[in-house]
Amino acid sequence: MAATSATTFSIGSTSFSSRANPVSQSKAIGLRLNSKNCLKSFSGLKAAISVSSESESSFLGKESSVALRQSCIPKSLKHNQRSCNYPQPQASYKVAILGAAGGIGQPLALLIKMSPLVSSLHLYDIANVKGVAADLSHCNTPSQVLDFTGAAELPNSLKDVNVVVIPAGVPRKPGMTRDDLFNINANIVKNLVEAVADNCPDAFIHIISNPVNSTVPIAAEVLKQKGVYDPKKLFGVTTLDVVRANTFVAQKKNLKLIDVDVPVVGGHAGITILPLLSKTKPSVSFANEEIQELTVRIQNAGTEVVEAKAGAGSATLSMAYGAARFVESSLRALDGDSDVYECTYIQSELTELPFFASRVKLGRKGVEAVISSDLQGLTEYEQKALEALKPELKASIEKGIAFAQKQTAAA
């Protein structure tokens, strides 16, 4: 069972060899992965076994795809290929990105466009989205791309949508805290979630807009006021924290990245981000100094990017990657995959806090189970860090709830 799920497509460096048609290690290839009973082990956006490819979702042509597929299948699988039935996911889900012309929205739209599960990709923003849609529509993947501009077109962008992703808002700049973002982004999220409630109340809602610790509670209050709140379908996207933890641990310990899984709990800002390094898979030991160093780096990784970009932006590309992974996991769950696990910020009873990020099992109706065992048997360092994050996370949650209730009273 994978601790964190991967997806039905592969991005990055994957090495396959074929005498007739070699593919170099650095070549990015569009592979279609079996999403149900043939794919046993996931990590990030890569899969460990049972890879197949199809021309509809591949950068390669039809003949090249066939050659690649044949070169990737082990002899033992080729021998049993006739007797094995590989169910393939169908492109039958609609995804809407609200804020699709922004720094996160554009690369996220590209990654979602690559998914073989998406039939229609709806791109919404207040401006500049037509060009993004035109650009993406030239990519030879199955999903149709539609653009929607301005508040008047927002309702149509949400009709019959299965998954709504909200990266809309302003990015963090040097010297800006996540709280500085609150007054701007809180109102944006409120307005967008109201539209979701009115037009696609049964959709999975993925909140990316920061500060997530507050914007998810805002979204919950809005949905409650509209009478359509389903806590199992509202997610704060914290996948980037897991992606970073996996990357940094793999680098530190010289591990194969595809094998590494670090659950990250708490929230999605500063000390509220708690990587549970003691729960790392594969099992690995850390010196006390390594634990502190890795924990602090994972918590401050967003600031690391903001400073490196020197005022030119925040963590847009890695955030888009993490969000695409979570979208694909949601689509796999909707498609009936029974082995989908991700860390996400949700309404939770795992602690005394009303919202908390932890590993969950996803299914067709959203969260099927919260994996409480991750918080059992913590190290002394992790237990202290867990208690230390609670007051800050509690304050952020209360701030979001108070904002939403104040807006309702004013209306």
Backbone CA torsion sign across 133, 134, 138, 144: positive
Vertex 322: Cα angle to 380 and 184 (nearest 5): 95
Confirm whether 206 is a catalytic residue: no
Instruction: Answer for the pair 98, 194: CB distance below 8 angstroms, yes or no.
Output: no
The single residue of 79, 122, 206, 268 carrying the catalytic annotation is 268
Number of Cβ within a 10 Å radius of residue 14? 18
Backbone dihedral angles phi then psi of residue 4, each to the nearest 5 degrees: -125, 140
| Through-space distance between the first and last CA atoms of the chain, rounded to whole angstroms | 48
Instruction: Answer for the pair 347, 231: CB distance below 8 angstroms, yes or no.
Output: yes
Instruction: Answer for the pair 263, 374: CB distance below 8 angstroms, yes or no.
Output: yes
- The two most distant CA atoms of the chain are separated, in Å, by 69
Report the relative pairing of strands 204-207 and 234-236 from DSSP bridges. Answer: parallel
Using only the alpha carbons of the chain, give its radius of gyration: 21
Closest among 328, 282, 334, 273 to 304, alpha carbons compared: 273
Classify 46 as helix, strand or coil: strand
Six token digits for residue 366: 């959203």
CA atoms within 13 A on the CB side of 307: 7
Distance CA 157, CA 237 (A): 21
Closest among 55, 4, 3, 5 to 331, alpha carbons compared: 5
Instruction: Answer for the pair 176, 302: CB distance below 8 angstroms, yes or no.
Output: no
Residue 323 identity? A
Closest among 314, 283, 281, 286 to 300, alpha carbons compared: 314
Six token digits for residue 395: 């304050």
Q: What share of the chain is helix, strand, coil (3-state, %, to 5)?
A: 45, 20, 40
Which active-site residues does the annotation give? 268
